[in-house]
Structure 1
């Protein structure tokens, strides 16, 4: 089971990624990515009041955290600070489609996602 990637928590880190990082938008999320060579991967999550009440915002962030854990929790991606921003569609979007949105946004932002090695090959 993949571990949770370390988190961005301080406002100045979010602002630094927003100001200097690459941006990729998808229907289910917006990704901001900033290369930080020599540092571990860190991920931050945000959802604005524009997308709904606290229940909807919390659901949105939970879904983004799980998608990030599944795609980035294996520790293969290093040297990036990422911010995932929820959109109105995030809370209700099918989870497989949301994962596809995240994969595409990571690719567009230049974050190298190594494909998992096939377990059937021996």
Structure 2
């Protein structure tokens, strides 16, 4: 199992399928090559300061180390996006969540050109475009 390190690989996986959990989001993408399973980890700045983000990332890496690699599909890339709940959620519960996430059918996201936006149905009117009461 290899690690994802290039930004382009992370962006490609972000357009793939995803499974939500309280402590993380598992994103996945099928590759057409015969390379090994690759996995990446990311935590956004909204999840805390640098030590907290690093702790979340370390917990996610340890989850993957303890997970049976057979549960991962070959020729796939995975990205675990950490959430703030990963700091307080029990490790055994997170491990169960990850096992479930790998067995659950993933929901494909509708991103990219020509696709419908994820939320809403268009631009939201600003204060200047509203009609007076």
* TM-score range relative to shorter protein: 0.7 to 0.9
TM-score (norm 2): 0.72
Q: Which stretches in structure 1 are left out of the alignment for 5+ residues?
A: 111-122
Identify the residue that residue 16 of structure 1 maps to in structure 2. Answer: 12
C-alpha RMSD of the superposition = 1.8
The answer to whether the Cα contact below 8 Å between 1:33 and 1:109 also exists between their aligned partners in 2 is no
In proportion to residue count, which structure has more strand?
1
Partner of 1:36: 31
Distance in 2 (alpha carbons) for counterparts of 1:46 and 1:15:
12
Q: Secondary structure at the match of 1:78?
A: coil
Higher relative contact order (CA 8 A, sep 6+): 1
**Highest Rg: 1 or 2?**
2
- The alpha-carbon distance between structure 1 residues 29 and 63, as it changes in their structure 2 partners (threshold 3 A), is same
Could you list the structure 1 runs, at least 4 aligned residues long, displaced by more than 6 angstroms after superposition.
none
CA distance in 1 between partners of 2:90 and 2:72 (Å): 26
Unaligned runs of 5+ in 2: 107-133
TM (norm. structure 1) is: 0.78
Q: How many aligned residue pairs are there?
A: 105
